Structure 1
Amino acid sequence: MPLPAPVQDVALLLARLLVGAVLVAHGWDKLAGQGVAATAGFMGSLGVPAPQVAAVAVGVLELVGGLLLVLGAATAVVGLLVVVDMALAAWLVHAENGVFVTDGGWELVGVIAAVSLALAAAGPGRASVDHALLGRRSRGRRRVAR
């Protein structure tokens, strides 16, 4: 039995705020905290092609994508892009370290990917830019798709 719509909206809002804030923090760190050069150096050491471009792309995706998730804007697209980003991070960096983040494992990127995928599938809820712009039209599409 699904939760009542207002409860769903609050749950989706809290999920967006939390995951968005984590992404913003990580994106900011890649671009301005540790910086693009350090991020690119790390990516290069992993064999990532064009590490400078990859560092900027991932930093911008996490920073801007995180802000968009907080706002509930372009949620499906951003959610799927974040899933790809986190899958690559898990594969290239974290998988060999096991599950736990304290050991460098994949648990954080796994949870971010799972929540981002759920947001892409469920939508951002009514307290969002997507809902304000698409409103009933987006709900109608969902009904037809089910």
Structure 2
Amino acid sequence: MADRLQTQWAPRILSIVRIVAALIFMEHGTTKLLGFPPSEMPTPEVMSLMWIGGMLEMVGGALLVVGLFTRPVALILSGEMAVAYWMFHAPNGVFPLVNGGDAAILFCFLFLYIAFAGGGPWSVDAIFRGKK
């Protein structure tokens, strides 16, 4: 019974985790680029590293929410978070809790997992796969 429940729900939970993580991630981009939700962070200059990061977070997050191009988008976002951690967080200290990079590390490895696992059954990618 438990095995059947796990087999039945694991793909659905993957979809739920993808959607929730993508919504939270997308919020980082909307804060940087649209000022919503409001923060102390100034709007970055167009084509600066922070602006490019904001675009990746907002557009990539939106694509992951709906599950479109899930694997390549998740791989790109995983790389973005690795770069963000090593460029902006790691120089401020060894420990992620102290340097503020704990979310970057979690997003990096969560998106890396999603790049390999896919978006789950509740995704646009799954709809396209079903039509083939």
* 3-state SS of paired residue (2:30): helix
Percentage of identical aligned residues: 29
TM-score relative to the length of structure 2:
0.81
Corresponding residue number in structure 1 for 2:72: 77
CA contact (8 A) 2:33 2:43 kept: no
| Structure number with higher helix proportion | 1
* Deviation string, structure 1 residues 11-60 (Cα, Å, up to 9, x no partner): 211211221012110000110226996434xxxxxxxxxx8343332111
Query: What aligned pairs does 1:54-73 form with structure 2 within 5 A after superposition?
Result: 54-73=49-68
Q: Does 1:24 align with 2:26?
A: yes
Task: In structure 1, give the amino acid aligned to 2:96.
Answer: V
Gaps of 5+ in 2: none
Corresponding residue number in structure 2 for 1:140: none
Whole-angstrom CA distance in 2 between matches of 1:122 and 1:128: 13
Whole-angstrom CA distance in 2 between matches of 1:36 and 1:52: 17
Gaps of 5+ in 1: 41-50, 138-146
Number of equivalences: 124
CA contact (8 A) 1:36 1:56 kept: no
Q: Does 1:134 align with 2:129?
A: yes
**RMSD over equivalenced CA pairs, Å:** 2.5
